[in-house]
Structure 1
Amino acid sequence: MLKRLLLTALLVTGLSFSAQAQDFDKENSLYLDLKDGRVVIKMRPDLAPKHVERIKKLTREGFYDGIVFHRVIRGFMAQTGDPTGTGMGGSDYPDLPAEFSNEPHVTGTLSMARSSNPHSANSQFFIVFKRAGHLDGQYTVWGQVVEGMEFVNRIKKGSSYNNGKVTNPDKIIKMQVAADVK
């Protein structure tokens, strides 16, 4: 009887791992390497195809490697994606039209940062630390942390501002599309 229970448990566990592996779409997953470890992000082209396309393009160009988290608000979110580190910069590509959805901003949601113009998202994005319902329907949700949220929670705020830049901020070590990692 014990052997049968053990065999059943192993079989169920094996099926569970197999199902998870099949659900892992490497072309729409990112590896975000931070100082404390790797974060796995499931991108959502079903919600924001143009934004996911942009994030993948910039990631493949190495745009995000070494970019700082210029804005970190404890209990709310960590923002990155500005090569100037000031919160005022972006990529050389044109801004994107909004792709708002009803997807809620829950722990680990990734959304595009923008100005007051809803069609001004470019390269900056943020990861929410916890539920932020006031953002729902107003920012383009394009991904969700599926592993490594404990590393996101350790992103620290820079120590001070110096000429408009945060000093001593955490940064993205490397960001890669999972399909590109051999």
Structure 2
Amino acid sequence: MPRQPALAVLLAAALALPAAVAGADAPPTRTTQEVLEASTPADWRTPDPANTLYMDLDAGRVVIELAPDFAPQHVENIRILAREGFWNGAAIYRSHDNFVVQFGDPHADDPERARPTGSARTRLPAEFERPARDLDFHPLPDRDGWAPEAGFVAGFPAAREGTDGAAWMAHCYGAVGAGRGLEADSSIGAELYVVTGQSPRQLDRNITLVGRVIRGMELLSAVPRGPEPLGMLEDPARHVPIRAITLASELPAEQREPIEVLRTDTATFDAYVESRRNRRDAFYKRPAGHVDLCNIAIPSRTPRD
């Protein structure tokens, strides 16, 4: 038999390698449900009441977790605005299809009608990014199209430029940002938006993100869309009234929402990520072998007795 060329031998070996790696000895990927059912109490955390907002609408309650690790000055201003009732009686006045809903003072641009911001600061620096070395970053195993590395920081989807570079929150579904004008430092946290459509990652490092919705997204994504081009609900009759936005820490413990969020810095979370990137339930016939940062929805639950 003629000898195979060396290159052909090497190619055959390379092609055989994945089959060996993926053979019977490889541990099977658990389903998402199996991972969550096997979790322990230590895999879950209770959001800090001082960093949790309750947004009460006629349709129900939206729970927002603030991110002081990324935007400390904006978060402090938001706490002040909530304590002083700035958003009580305000409204959702924008619903842009496949993009965002925005809420706050519909008359913010009219000096004669604008709501007073009380003792909140009226000027803040842009907080688009932080030094990565200051954050406990838990990376994903896959590449990100928008940054050298993607992962999570204390429950928030994030990206970074290596351990010595910058890190920032990502504009994933449910992200809460501080609306601004053309100037980078023109936001104070009074006008906020929530991503309700496909993740607009092009906004990363261009707008200050202050947190994310951890419960009640269905109430925001169901807001009727406004007209093109920006989804502004010019008719006040179409505004969605906000009864109140309250800091959880301002309420007695028995009146706070019972909620736990899956931690993003554990082996259980790594298994959860793997269950999303290589789906093994009865429906999926071909595991993807990849997962996008914004396709990892972080589970929350009512605490078990």
Q: Please name the residue that 1:129 is paired with.
A: 196
How do 1:1-182 residues align onto structure 2 when only pairs under 5 Å count? 15-16=40-41, 19-20=43-44, 22-82=45-105, 85-86=106-107, 88=109, 89=114, 91=117, 93-101=121-129, 102-122=168-188, 123-130=190-197, 131-157=199-225, 161=234, 166-182=236-252
CA-atom RMSD in angstroms? 2.3
Q: Please name the residue that 2:269 is paired with.
A: none
Point out where structure 2 has 5 or more consecutive residues left out of the alignment. 1-36, 130-167, 228-232, 253-305
Residue type at the aligned position of 1:67: A
In 1, Cα distance between equivalents of 2:187 and 2:73: 11
In 2, Cα distance between equivalents of 1:171 and 1:110: 18
Q: Give me the TM-score of the superposition, normalised by structure 1.
A: 0.81
Structure of greater Rg: 2
Offset from partner CA, 1:106-162 (integer Å, 9 cap, x none): 111000000000111021110110311121110001111111111111223569635
In 1, Cα distance between equivalents of 2:60 and 2:51: 20
Structure 1 position 168, deviation (Å): 2.7
Q: Please name the residue that 2:267 is paired with.
A: none
Of structures 1 and 2, the one with the larger relative CO (CA 8 A, separation 6+) is 1
CA contact under 8 A between 2:96 and 2:226: conserved in structure 1?
Answer: no
Residue type at the aligned position of 2:224: K
Aligned length: 165
SS class of match (1:58): helix
SS class of match (2:79): helix
CA contact under 8 A between 1:157 and 1:169: conserved in structure 2?
Answer: no
Q: Please name the residue that 2:280 is paired with.
A: none
In 2, Cα distance between equivalents of 1:96 and 1:86: 21
Q: Give me the TM-score of the superposition, normalised by structure 2.
A: 0.50
Point out where structure 1 has 5 or more consecutive residues left out of the alignment. 1-10
In 2, Cα distance between equivalents of 1:28 and 1:63: 17
